A and B are shown apart, each in its own frame.
Chain A
Amino acid sequence: MEKDRHISKLIRESGIAKAPEDFTQKVMDRIGTESVHKPYKPLIGRTGGIITLLIIAGIAVTSLLLSSPGESAKGILDTWKPVDWQWPSLNLDFSFLEHLNLSPWLIGTLVAVFLLILSDAGLNRKKIF
């Protein structure tokens, strides 16, 4: 008990350390610098990006399912399809793409949103701003 009292007295007596003289100034300088160079915050964010990508995938899948098999693609896919294309020996059937009937506007919008998410994530990672 006596030891405890003695050591407690010594601790209290020793006091706290003093921060360097220019400490406050350094902190305020850093705050000022940070205010000028604010870190890039993603517009959409991770969750938003995932949700948007899921929506895009949903629209694409729904369009696929709703397209009637007999109806050939009248849109830009016809122009994309190579004339003499032969799938390699993988035996994958991509013929369903022929039935995909998306308007060029919709495809353009989906591509634009996809690129926005991609660039947003890229900027956030590189911390350009």
Chain B
Amino acid sequence: MDTPGDSYDIQRARAGDREAFSVLVDRYRDMVYTLCLRMLSNEMDADEAAQDIFLKAYRGIGSFQEKSKFSTWLYRIAYNHCISVIRKKVKMIDLVDEVPEDSETATELNGMDALSREERTHFVQRALEALPETDAVVVTLFYYEELSLEEIGGITGLSSGNIRIRLHRSRKKMYQLLTKMLQSEISSIL
């Protein structure tokens, strides 16, 4: 999602222009924050991690070579930083493990269409948060940032085949999770 202005702002930021760097922060803050949120599953941690990532980017902008997109370089920093935060914290709960891989439920997701957009978004966000960190990043970069498998591979270090499998697995898990959520929502209404 590099915008035409990136190159100009990067040049100025390299020269020590903080205003130019703040433009870059403004441009990418939501995506970096989303990546952190997907990986860390906590708003406070995500906020702090996203700040750290931009700080790292500021320190390292001199070494950024415009061979790759600025966004790819930034997301790689974000991914690696979140991985190191997770390693330090050791995530205790993995909700996805509670859902059997092959549990097919009778309820279809059609009921989602009956919900308001806000409600649907809320359920999808919860399902995304329940994915393993790397899978959540892959889904986020693929669907929201519309990066190619190769570009995602450049950020996460995964092969295109592995990313494709993770995408498929994530969709399946999300489908199962959303179905369960929808079921419990319906039963709570009834």
Q: Are A13 and B178 interface neighbours, CB within 8 A?
A: no
Q: Is the interface of A mostly helix, strand, loop or mixed?
A: helix
Interface residue tally for chain B (C-beta within 8 Å): 37
State whether the Cβ of B34 lies closer than 8 Å to any Cβ in chain A: yes
Q: Are B140 and A7 interface neighbours, CB within 8 A?
A: no
Closest to B140 in A: A16
Which residues of A are found within 8 Å of B47, using beta-carbon distances? Answer: 19-20, 23
Interface string of B120-133 (1 = CB under 8 A from A): 11001100100000
Q: Are B143 and A11 interface neighbours, CB within 8 A?
A: yes
State whether the Cβ of A15 lies closer than 8 Å to any Cβ in chain B: yes
A10 and B124 alpha carbons, distance in the complex (Å): 7
Known contacts: A8-B143, A24-B25, A32-B18. The answer to whether A14 contacts B121 by CB under 8 A is yes
| Chain B 108-162 interface residues, beta-carbon cutoff 8 Å to A | 109, 112, 117, 120-121, 124-125, 128, 139-140, 143-144
Give the contacting residue for A17; candidates B30, B55, B112; CB below 8 A.
Answer: B30
**B interface residues, Cβ below 8 angstroms from A:** 18, 21-22, 25-26, 29-34, 37, 46-47, 50-51, 54-55, 58, 109, 112, 117, 120-121, 124-125, 128, 139-140, 143-144, 168, 171-172, 174-175, 178
